[in-house]
A and B are shown apart, each in its own frame.
Chain A
């Protein structure tokens, strides 16, 4: 390595041979020494923790894989129960194997399960396509509309030879994805308008936005959902009934909007005043200024808290279980109500956690990449 730069010194000034940092200050060995074994106390801590980690990891692997039962014939759960009581307990994944279609799709008619399955695939594909920067064009909006229409047709059916499935029978993962996607897709633009409104020079707009944020933020999501499902219909004239899912959807959207608005406002406030002034001085109108100068910078600043809120709301959609909507978590809960499968909740909840984790972790990783990419201009 050192001979590469020999003879390349500028203008004849002899260049010192590049010096390497002393060995044992870099590399994994040095890292381990510095972080794990730097003193006798640290060494002791490392050893104790390592013991517990290894011990419980082995225990978990034994339970989850080695001793586990993967399937049982015809709901015959005796083997599972015996295993649970034995000295070497294991997981009964048979409950997930047996019930996975119910957990994923709820009470949707069994023969038609390919439809919600396709809906989940479409949603996931939509997220992936929307995440790729090369697709950030106007056509993406059309793709969204088209996909959402197809999803609606698949879920409801009633045309194109698909049998009609009423909304009461929908359930499982599609419900979670519908609530999260529509909720955030409407809440995000709403939140931007509210955040801008809170900084407006027009007092009426400002008061309205502050009132919205404070009122919605001041009550738990559960009470909003209750209001949407129980109280709201009382105010409607006789004979008019708005879909329960839609009402829950609106409640979630409004709730998410209030939280996101505060995140966006944080970004607006973090932007130096000079940026507003420079845009004003160039004669840019309010909307050009906001669209070209303010929001692109403000939103980049708040990607981490924004995604934090997104992830929070993806999981908060599970609260609809209290008003009897069959989302992923409710479906899982219901799956273990059946007497044959009672007592195997841990396995079901673990399986559901894995699904939630996949979506949330993907969001988290994606936001990190996006942040790095969009903020490249900050580096020199």
Chain B
């Protein structure tokens, strides 16, 4: 309450700062500043808010990292408490909290037991991001005929898609939220996560499809990928293009040199 004629009194800022630190860091707090209610002591009244803080932020993490929470079961909450000890909520919107959780997991000892956990957390985070995106309508199907006629054409993908290249079966873990012994074995899997008119979709891609997709996404023309980028047969490429179109992943077609329409992409940390 600082702007304008009546700036917030500095004592209010000091009071609020002191209270915040007592809740988050359990810093010493002058208990005589508060009158607890009911038969609570001042310490117990503070504990109500300290418990609420932990519960709300843990719940926010569980909402975002659904797969991680299910994989970890009862081990999830202690991990969240470790995260809360080093990470504060910066935004008034609780949904913003926890974007650095995958990085935290990368440094965590739990990675020894669950080596895929940080990557799975990235998938969960991307899935939440997709939830708040609008699906892009399919482009005119007649454009597909141009694919056969112009080697300079480029595919412009919808912004709401992300490929995860992993040494682990990420798709199975994200979809099934179940960890079998097989899942713990290294089994490379590439997951394409995207949003179309039917909602959030996950699709497993082969290594060749992944290379092709990434080359096209990077701006290679169809002619270039046929000449240099793929070991797939023309029939396999054609089938893959057909799937990309019908899955709603192609936003537009452009000739090389044309600028793609502005787009957003998954990079919540930015």
Chain A complexes with chain B: no
